[in-house]
Structure 1
């Protein structure tokens, strides 16, 4: 039986925006407003960026990358999914780095100008949920950089890592898994903060395994299956898209509990998509709700600007 390397001690969580936290020798967290990005690769060698943060954060990501990898650009960028808070700085980063971007094939319609994501759900409860119509559902267009992840499950530029299809939060959501040390980059398949609340989203006030962000999860059956699949891996370390990384027994116990009790602990009590989940297949081309153009026009730019301003004040 192959011995499993225990997780390295987690450094104290970073508090400043753009700060870095070393989770493994070749895995570094970059803390951004509301969300995390990750750097895969040994310092001084080839590396990969995972996710691209909120709009306006390209400078924070590039400075963090420079502190770890110097002036060497990434070999490529991998997206766990293409929601605004994970691709917001992507266009600016590509202008500087001109590298390929990999995502699951089911994400490509949303990343090549074909179709928007399902409209976010402001009815699931919480301040951030009420503001969620400002999180533009696209479609975004990052051609010609975008291409599908390899069908064999490998992660380009990151030997030893595999991508796992973990739908629910989006149809093409993926998590990254390294079996050698049981390290998981979970994206938003689950998170470790109460993302629907302002204190959870902006301050990561409580660190605990939680469901994917409810206001932007249109298929709860698929989300539950993804959580169960990840719990079955028994990860030693999980780096999530929102919240602080977790490791060891607290992670395994809480993830197992969420998987076992997803109906009561994961699924929201109310919401648009509970009775009509968006199927995990091709992108939806129509308008998911007639409120979309009206609400986006009223809240979009103002709320996004407020969130970024508030996060900078709270975390500086």
Structure 2
């Protein structure tokens, strides 16, 4: 995990550090955690990847922890589509696994509110594509529960959660006290998430949250400063390859000091005008910015996402099997709305 890490030299499923494994799902990450204070066969999943990735996540979990060994819990940093996409499959094959999220994230996980619209005007090919990204809520019903208010994490005693809003109102990060390991979600990331080239190469560097889906830059600034103050020894983020050591600390400190120049877009719908949300969901959003995007920029983004997906799935395409009727029914009637 040096600063020279990239897609070419980092496997999609990797051992990050003691008790922590990461899985790159096209351009988003999820994590498997086994805490030393837990029974040896007990583990927890953090986030749930993109739609269609359920079987891949299930196979990875089985490779790490054995078959017929579901997670003790599924923890969500937030509910954006690239962090909850596989829940339709996973909650079917793991019917007793509880899901936990922050109380302010509940409207987007129980079908009550859509997220603020993404902003394709902030720059970069991945941003230009963001008008296509799902933003409607999912409905987990009673399967999702609020994280305990005291900062503890069920089934993960060595860790605590930290409220890090900005990217979403109820965004949280997870912190292991004894060695300062941080699972940051999208509070900050280790790739330039807006760039198609950087997303393709996974060139490793600390950046602010994905700008196209961040509707509150003031809260985001405070969240990054809060996480930097924890002095993480390692950061595993929702996008990009995990970073550690002095390189991480220096780049994170630089991001805090120069947040407006390095993270906040020069222009954009939410620059200076955040979306407003409460416990019931989105209350108001500012007017949309001009969307005079070059056609080539949208095409570049499509090419990047398509190329990454094909490179990771080309060996499976010919052997693709449709989802079971049970999973299709669960996904359509219980998980997705709208």
**TM-score band, normalised by shorter chain:** 0.7 to 0.9
Corresponding residue number in structure 1 for 2:272: 275
Alignment of 1:35-114 (within 5 A): 35-41=28-34, 44-71=40-67, 72-98=69-95, 99-114=97-112
**Superposition deviation, residue 202 in structure 1:** 3.5
Instruction: Tell me whether 1:118 sits opposite 2:116 in the alignment.
Output: yes
Distance 1:287 1:190 in 2: 22
Check conservation: 1:17, 1:312, Cα contact below 8 A: no
Unaligned segments of structure 2, at least 5 residues:
290-298, 314-338
SS at match of 1:256: helix
Find the residue that maps to 1:61 and give its secondary structure: helix
Normalising by structure 1, what TM-score?
0.87
Q: Which runs of 5+ in 1 are unaligned?
A: 1-7, 292-301
Describe the SS at the equivalent of 1:62. Answer: helix
Mapped contact 1:16–1:31 kept (Cα < 8 A):
no
CA shift for structure 1 position 304: 11
SS of aligned partner of 1:136: coil
Q: Deviations over 1:1-28 (max 9, x none)?
A: xxxxxxx999x76759983211222111
2:159 paired with 1:166: no
Q: Are 2:305 and 1:312 equivalent residues in the alignment?
A: no
> In the alignment, is the contact (CA less than 8 A) between 1:193 and 1:210 conserved in 2?
yes
Q: Residue 106 of structure 1: SS of its match in structure 2?
A: helix
Q: CA deviation at 1:146?
A: 0.7
Q: For 1:271-304, what per-residue CA distance to the aligned partner results, in whole angstroms no more than 9, with x for missing partners?
A: 000131023533115687689xxxxxxxxxx999
1:263–1:287 Cα change, 3 Å? closer
Indicate if the aligned counterparts of 2:196 and 2:304 stay in contact, CA closer than 8 A.
no
- Counterparts of residues 76-225 of structure 1 (less than 5 Å): 76-98=73-95, 99-204=97-202, 206-225=203-222
Tell me the secondary structure at the aligned position of residue 273 of structure 2.
coil
Cross-structure match for 2:23: 30
Provide the residue aligned with 1:20 in structure 2: 13
**SS of residue matched to 1:144:** helix
Aligned residues: 298
Deviation digits for residues 134-170 of structure 1 (CA, Å, limit 9, x no counterpart): 1111111111201100011011111110000000000
Greater Cα offset, 116-125 or 278-287: 278-287
Q: Is the 8 A contact 2:99 2:145 kept in 1?
A: yes
Shift of 1:309: 3.9
Q: For the Cα contact (< 8 Å) 1:17–1:32, is it kept in 2? A: no
Which residue of the partner structure matches residue 284 of structure 1? 282
